[in-house]
Amino acid sequence: MSEKTYQALVERVKRKIGSPAAQLKLCCEIQRQPEDAADDWTRMLSELGTVENVTIIPLDDDGELFRVRWNPEESMS
């Protein structure tokens, strides 16, 4: 596990969350890619799970596909 590969994973997920379609729906799906180290993936999910008003919903039994939902109105109150 290297910080460089972890940062690449985080940037990919940030782009997905920040996409116009995801911002419109207030959710997106993220999936572990073959190049993502298991430790990096677990760390990213753990850190994402600490963000206020963010919900992470598993969509498979392998822990590789998740729906990320957020509610910006809750974060403003």
Distances (CA, A) of 25 to 7, 14, 17, 29, 38: 25, 15, 10, 11, 28
The count of domains in the chain is 1
The per-residue pLDDT for range 6-32, each reduced to its tens digit, is 999 999 999 999 999 999 999 999 999
The per-residue pLDDT for range 38-58, each reduced to its tens digit, is 999 999 999 999 999 999 999
Statement: residue 73 has pLDDT above 90: no
Q: What domain range is 71 assigned to? A: 3-76
The DSSP-derived string for 11-41 is HHHHHHHHSHHHHHHTEEEEE--TTS-HHHH
CATH number at residue 32: 3.30.1370
Q: What pTM did the predictor assign?
A: 0.88
